[in-house]
Structure 1
């Protein structure tokens, strides 16, 4: 398996925190040049401090087609070509079916589905032969969980997109796969507006129902992303669960 990424050029959307940042650190520590995106300048600045001189940050809204177009131009200018693209930017929201709003539906699909689709479309001309694209799906795309109907559907759309884009990019010798995280201690709950006791109760609930009785770490998902991006050279259109067995057992 690949142990070094010297000279590789990698783009990570949603790379300023959580799983995206963990992947950026893995690649940067291995010698790659990494370009990360995010929506918040302060968060991007903090990420750059952790990633070092081989990283570049671009403020970009994953749901904005104009931002995606500008991102492609920036990547072309700074990198020329790309060895791996990790399409990780996404949001989550929950609400019971009978109280889900149109605004919530549109936001989730704009960011989680439209954004990734047009990000791959915009950056595909820059992908080198043999490169890998990785999309972030979720264990919820195969589970029926309360209050997550729209979020789950958006991730199921990404799972389908992984297959169809894999087929369409075969002539360019570009592989497209997906990583499917389960309950990961990425900090998203801690950064939410939920009270601390609710956050801990939620984490305890995830632990108690997971076959491995724990939360995953962002670094564990990052390792799977690296495998799909560089080492899974005879795999395309697949989804790799990193969920403690939640979708399998």
Structure 2
């Protein structure tokens, strides 16, 4: 006899949802879905022109005249700025902390490790980790001070937060760090009845993907050819589905499911039946995938050496 535990699904209707990185890509797609489900939605990003355009799209998804929709420009790379941005959007809600927070802000600049500058490495942590961590830090303090129970915070990592390969030395460490933060808070938040979750998307065909391809080495593009990827809308739907269900680790495609199951650590299981299957597939399939990736990298040695010579790396 099996005993199953069912969680009541989270409903965004009437809730205040705070979305960082909400002017494009995953953040905007998620914001529009939340608006269409009756939520009050506040988005924050740096580019005011993009925010204005995003707000028009959000207004088109409105289902009630009582919904409060806003877009604020802010740079979230410091504790001070992240706190100020949070307080600014909460003014419309009489200072009350958000019911749900989605930290979608971030960017990637893939390139070979030997080509990275000191600034590239610092930017990797700033735009991959701190741009989300400072918001989580600010929101947590506000929620605890207000004794607001039942709130939910969801960070956005990447499939590369579960594994990694060449080209992502400034990006993957930050995404692994977000997972460490989310797993830590999943435990610590039990003190306050707050929920910590994290999303591991595969490739998302967003404006950010177009930008990162400008620096991405060709061999990495070849390796990533096996990742079918998702549109921002597909990724947002998958993220929200896991968020509503209460998954601590959220994935939206089969390949990420397999990596997630194989690197779960002490995180709570999403579904013990399916994860047993994914564990087996991971045990058999990941080493095969790894060998193919390693083979592609080794086969690129000569071409890579010529590339570094042409770039003047050797002096």
Report the TM-score, using the length of structure 2 for normalisation. Answer: 0.68
Q: Which residue of 2 aligns with 1:102?
A: 118
**Alpha-carbon separation, structure 1, partners of 2:212 and 2:82:** 26
Q: Shift of residue 101 of structure 1?
A: 1.4
Between 18-27 and 105-114, report the one with greater CA deviation.
105-114
Question: Residue 228 and residue 242 in structure 1: after superposition, are their counterparts in 2 closer, same or farther (change >3 A)?
Answer: closer
Q: Shift of residue 222 of structure 1?
A: 1.4
Q: Which residue of 1 aligns with 2:183?
A: 163
Q: Which residue of 1 aligns with 2:91?
A: 77
Q: Which residue of 2 aligns with 1:68?
A: 82
Q: Shift of residue 115 of structure 1?
A: 2.6
What are the superposed Cα offsets for residues 56-78 of structure 1, whole Å, 9 maximum, x if unpaired? 11111121332212112213312
Q: Which residue of 1 aligns with 2:229?
A: 215
Q: Does the aligned pair in 1 maintain the 2:76–2:134 contact within 8 Å?
A: no
Q: Which residue of 2 aligns with 1:187?
A: 207
* Dislocated runs of 4+, deviation >4 Å: 1-4, 201-205
The alignment partner of 2:166 has SS state of coil
The alignment partner of 2:28 has SS state of helix
What are the superposed Cα offsets for residues 84-140 of structure 1, whole Å, 9 maximum, x if unpaired? 000111110112121221101111212322232221121124443112111000011
The alignment partner of 2:26 has SS state of helix
Q: Which residue of 2 aligns with 1:16?
A: 23
**Alpha-carbon separation, structure 2, partners of 1:227 and 1:97:** 36
**Alpha-carbon separation, structure 1, partners of 2:131 and 2:32:** 23
Q: Which runs of 5+ in 1 are unaligned?
A: none
Question: Residue 49 and residue 2 in structure 1: after superposition, are their counterparts in 2 closer, same or farther (change >3 A)?
Answer: farther
Structure with more helix by fraction: 2
Q: Does the aligned pair in 2 maintain the 1:142–1:247 contact within 8 Å?
A: no
Query: How many residue pairs align between the two structures?
Result: 239
The alignment partner of 2:204 has SS state of coil
Report the TM-score, using the length of structure 1 for normalisation. Answer: 0.85
Structure with more strand by fraction: 1
Match of 1:240 among 250, 269, 286: 250
Q: Does the aligned pair in 2 maintain the 1:179–1:221 contact within 8 Å?
A: no
- For residues 68-147 of structure 1, the aligned pairs below 5 Å read 68-79=82-93, 80-127=96-143, 128-147=148-167
Q: Does the aligned pair in 2 maintain the 1:143–1:247 contact within 8 Å?
A: no
Question: Residue 157 and residue 172 in structure 1: after superposition, are their counterparts in 2 closer, same or farther (change >3 A)?
Answer: same
**Alpha-carbon separation, structure 1, partners of 2:15 and 2:178:** 26
Q: Which runs of 5+ in 2 are unaligned?
A: 1-7, 63-67, 259-284, 286-315
- Structure number with greater Rg is 2
The alignment partner of 1:181 has SS state of coil
Structure with bigger RCO (C-alpha 8 Å, 6+ apart) = 1
Aligned alpha-carbon RMSD (Å) = 2.7
**Alpha-carbon separation, structure 1, partners of 2:100 and 2:238:** 13
**Alpha-carbon separation, structure 1, partners of 2:140 and 2:108:** 26
Question: Residue 165 and residue 184 in structure 1: after superposition, are their counterparts in 2 closer, same or farther (change >3 A)?
Answer: same
**Alpha-carbon separation, structure 2, partners of 1:202 and 1:156:** 19
Q: Does the aligned pair in 1 maintain the 2:110–2:212 contact within 8 Å?
A: no
Between 166-175 and 215-224, report the one with greater CA deviation.
215-224
